[in-house]
Amino acid sequence: MGSVRSHRYSIVSSEEDGMKLATIAVPNGFGNGNVTKVHTERQHQNRFVRKDGHCNVQFINMSEKGQRYLADIFTTCVDVRWRWMLLIFCLSFLLSWLFFGFVFWLVALCYGDLNNKTQICVSNVDSFTAAFLFSVETQTTIGYGYRYVTEECPVAVFVVVFQSIVGCIIDAFIIGAVMAKMAKPKKRNETLVFSHFATVAMRDGKLCLMWRVGNLRKSHLVEAHVRAQLLKTRTTAEGEFIPLDQMDIDVGFDSGIDRIFLVSPITIVHEIDEDSPFYEMSRQELETSEFEIVVILEGMVEATAMTTQCRSSYLGSEILWGYRFEPVLFEEKNYYKVDYSRFENTYEVPSTPHCSARELAERKSDASSSRNSFCYENEVALEKVEMEEEFDVEENQEVRGVEVGVLEHTNTDVVSDSDSNLDSLPLETRPLTAESEI
C-alpha cells in the first residue's frame, strides 16, 4: 500500500516504497550514518528545558520561602521527594503517639496513678512506657483490653476523644498526600517520547519544521494536543533587554490540527510562513543562531483522568536542515506495525533549498510574475494581429463593393445603348425575338 495521509501528521507507509534512506548518527546511539553538520564548533548554550523535561532553573533570594511553603503544606508534601515523604509519614504518627502518651503520663502523674496500685484515670498505666502504649492503642484503635480509661476521670476521657479526632485528621492528610503523590501522572511522561532531533524540509511545497512524538504505552492519551514556544533573547525598540523572550510557534492551533490521536508516532509540523519566527532564517543563520524551541505535549491519562504534561527542547544545533524522518508505521496483513527502532532515524533530502522561507517565497513570486507578464505580452500581440486581420477584411469588403458598383453601372450603360441602337434600326432589319423571351 502506498503512502496515505488522511491527516497532516499521519504517517502510513509500506516497506515496498523502495526508498533509499540514509540514516544519521546521533549521540544516543540511534542511526548509522554520518552527519555533515558540525556541532563541535558551536559555543555551549545552556538549556532552559532539559531533554527529560525538567526546567534548568534555580530560585535564589526568596523571602519567607519556608512560611510560604508551610502555608501550602499539602502541595509541599506532594512535591517533595519520596524519601522526605516517608519521613513525614513516620514522624507524623510517632510524634502524635509520643505527644498523647506524654499527656496521659501527666494525667496519671497528677492523679497519683504512677505510685498507686489501683489507677483512677487509666487502668494499668503506671509509667511513661505504659502511657505511650496506651496512646498507640487508642489512636490506632487496636484495643488489647489490658489498658483502658475509667469513668472516674473526665480529663482522661476528653484526651481519648481528642486523640481519636486528631488521629483521623492525620490519617486523612497523610494518606491523601501519599495517594496524590502515587497517582501523580509525572511518571507517565517516561512513556511519552520526543525525537532527539528536529528537521527542516519541504512538505506540500512549503518549508516546514518537524519533530516526532510517540507513546510507548497502549493506553491512550485522551485529548492530546501539542504546543511549541521559541525562547530567544532580544532587545526591544526602547532598548530593553529580554533574556528569554517567549514566542508561540504555530502548530495548527487555529485549524485544530494541534489536537492529535497519539496511537502511533506522529510528526508534528510547523509551516514556516510569514507569521513564523523562522521566516527570515536560512540554513546558515539557523546553525549559528542561539535559541531554544520548547515543545510540550499535554493530555489526560486514560487510567486516572489526570492531566499530564511532557516537555522537551531543541537547540539550533539539534535541528537538521534538509532531512526527513523515516516511516515507522507499516501495514501488515490484518494490522499495522510500529517499528520504534526507526523512531530517531532520518534520511537526507538533497532538494531542500538552503535559503530562508522568505527568499523562497520571493523567488516563487518573481517566477510567477514573469510568467504572467509573458502571457500578457502574448495576449496583446494576439489582439493586435486580430485587429489587423479584421481591418484587412473590412478593406477587402469595401474594395469589392466599389468594384461591383462600377460593374453594375457599366452594364446599365451598355444595355441602354443597345436599346437605343435597336430603336434606330428599320423594322426589316430588327432581330426577331422568340416568344419565350417576350
How many CB atoms are located within 10 Å of the residue 334 CB? 5
CB within 8 Å of 107: residues ≥ 6 apart: 113, 121, 122, 153, 155, 156, 159
What is the 8-class DSSP label of residue 317?
A: G
Task: With H, G, I as helix, E, B as strand and everything else as coil, classify residue 174.
Answer: helix
| All three cell numbers of 189 | 511522561
Q: What is the mean pLDDT of residues 251-260?
A: 89
Q: What is the mean pLDDT of residues 388-395?
A: 65
pLDDT for residue 420 is more than 80: no
The angle at the Cα of 217, spanning 214 to 218, to the nearest 5 degrees, equals 110
pLDDT for residue 317 is more than 80: yes
Residue 319 is predicted with a pLDDT of: 93
Name which residue leads in pLDDT, 412 or 273: 273
Instruction: State how far the Cα of 48 lies from the Cα of 54, in Å rounded to an integer.
Output: 9
Q: What is the mean pLDDT of residues 197-218?
A: 93
CB 154 within 8 A of CB 160: no
Residue 432 is predicted with a pLDDT of: 43
Residue 143 is predicted with a pLDDT of: 79
Residue 146 is predicted with a pLDDT of: 85
CB 228 within 8 A of CB 277: no
pLDDT for residue 141 is more than 80: yes
pLDDT category of residue 370 using cuts at 50, 70 and 90: low
Q: What is the mean pLDDT of residues 400-413?
A: 50
Average pLDDT, the chain: 79
Name which residue leads in pLDDT, 413 or 230: 230
Q: What is the mean pLDDT of residues 25-48?
A: 52
Q: What is the mean pLDDT of residues 352-363?
A: 89
Residue 160 is predicted with a pLDDT of: 92
Name the helix (H) or strand (E) containing 380.
helix 357-424
Residue 383 is predicted with a pLDDT of: 63
Residue 271 is predicted with a pLDDT of: 93
pLDDT category of residue 2 using cuts at 50, 70 and 90: very low
pLDDT for residue 26 is more than 70: no
Q: What is the mean pLDDT of residues 150-173?
A: 91
Q: What is the DSSP string of 239-307?
A: --EEEEEEEE--SSTTTTTTB--TTS-EEEEEE--TTSTTTT--HHHHHH---EEEEEEEEEETTT--E
pLDDT category of residue 214 using cuts at 50, 70 and 90: very high
Q: What is the mean pLDDT of residues 205-215?
A: 93
